[in-house]
Chains A and B, each alone.
Chain A
Amino acid sequence: MPLPKPLLLSFSLLFAAPAFAQNVAVIKFPELQKRLARPTDTTYVVNFWATWCAPCIKELPAFEQLRAANAGKKVKVLLVSMDYASQLDKKVKPFVKQRGLKSEVVLLNEPDPNSWMDKLDAKWSGALPFTLIINNKTKQRATFEQELSQTQLTAALQKFLK
C-alpha cells in the first residue's frame, strides 16, 4: 500500500538529515562569571556577539574553525549572544540552526550592561564584537574589542597553547 503523499512528505522531512541544532541556554551574569572562574587548565575563548551585529556575524566562522582545529586540545569556544532574551526563539535559535553552529552558544540575559561589564573586563567599553581568551591555570588573559580575522584569532590562541 503506497503511503498517502502528505504522510510520505512528512516522513521524508523527518529523516532528511535534520540539521543538528543545539539548545541555546539563557544565563545570567553570575553563572557566566562562575564558569569563567573555574580553576581549569582549559583555555576559554569567549566571544560576545549578537545576530544584529554585522562584524560579529562576519567573524563567527573563524571561531567555528578555531573550535574544529583545536578539537583534541583543552580549548573551549563559548559564543555569548547579547541578543535580547525576547529574541531567543525569533532570532537566535533560527540563526544558530541555520549556520549549524557547533560551538556552545548561550544567551546572556542581562538588560543593564553597566551592572556586570566591569566585572567581566574593565577595559571593555561595550562595543560588539568582544573576545576574551582566558586560562585560569596559567593566569593568562587577553581581550579584543574588535573584529578578529582567522589569522589574528589563531595567533591570539597560540600564545595560550605554548
Chain B
Amino acid sequence: MLLYLLRRVFYAVPIALAVGFVCFMLVQIAPGDPINAIVPPDAPADVVDQVRRDYGLDKPLLVQFGLWLSKVAVGDLGRSLATGRPVWADLHSAIGNTLMLAFAASSLGFVLGCVLGGLAGTFRGSVLDRTAVGVAVAGVSVPHYWLGMVMVVIFSVQLNWLPAMGAGPGGSSDWGWDWDHVKHLVLPTVTLSVIPMGIVTRTVRGIVAEIMNQEFVVALRGKGLTRWGVFLHVVKNAAPNALAVMGLQLGYLMGGSILVETVFSWPGTGLLLNSAIFQRDLPVLQGTILVLAMFFVALNLCVDLVQTALDPRIKRG
C-alpha cells in the first residue's frame, strides 16, 4: 500500500507539469495580450514595450515558462500581473471560500442524493421512484446559474429572507459560524448542490436496484433479517461506488463554479479564475489551475484509499 501511495504521489509530478504547460500555452494561443492587465488600452507603444520588458513578457515563451516553473518548484506561484499581490495570498483565501461552499454543497447533494436514490432503488416502479428520478433529472438539467438567479429573486429580492451576494456581512476574512454569516452560504449552497444531488440520486438508485436483485439479499431475507438489517447490508455494498461518484463531484465543485460564484459574488476560485481569464492574468490562471489540479489528484487518491478501506475486495498496489 505504501508503494502504491508513493507511486501515485510520483505520478502527480508529470500531471502538474502537463497542466502547467497546457494552461500556459492555451493562454498564449488565445487572442489578446496579458499586458492589458497592467496598462490601459490607450497606452502609447513605448510605455507598453517598457512595461512588457519590466515584467519579462518580452522573453521567449519557453523561457517565461521555465522561469515560472523554477519559482513554482520552490513554492512561489508568482505575483498577479493585475494587482501585484502574491498569487498564493489570493488563492489561499479563494480556496478556503470555495472549499467551504463545495463541502456544504456536496454534503447537501450527497445526503439528498443518497436518500432519494436509496428510496427510489428500494421501491422501484413506485410513485416515489418516479418522483425521485424526476427530481434527479431536473437537478442535472436545470442550469444552476439560472436557478441561482431565480432563488435570489424569490428569497432575497421578494421575501428579503436571505442575502443576495457576498460571503458574510464583513467579507470572508472575518467568517464565523453564526447565522449572520451562515445565511450568506444558504443560496449558493442550494444552487450548487442540485447537480451532485441529481447525479448521486441516479447512481445510488442504480446501485441499490442492482444489489436488491442479487441472491445474497434474497438469502438475507430468507434468513429472516428485518428490512432494516437488509438495508444496512445494501448500504455497505453500495457505499464504495457512491463514494467514488461523490469524490469526483467534490473535485468538480472544488474547481469552483464560475457561474454560481459570479451570480452570488462568492469570493472563491471560480470568481478568481473568471477575472483572471478576462484580464489574461497568467500567473493567477496558472497558479490556480495548478493547485486545483493537484487537489483533484489528491482527492482521487483519498477516494481510492477510502474505497479500499470500505471494501477489502478492492486491491490497490
Do A and B interact? no
Which residues in A have some Cβ–Cβ distance to B below 8 Å?
none
Binding site for A on B (CB under 8 A): none
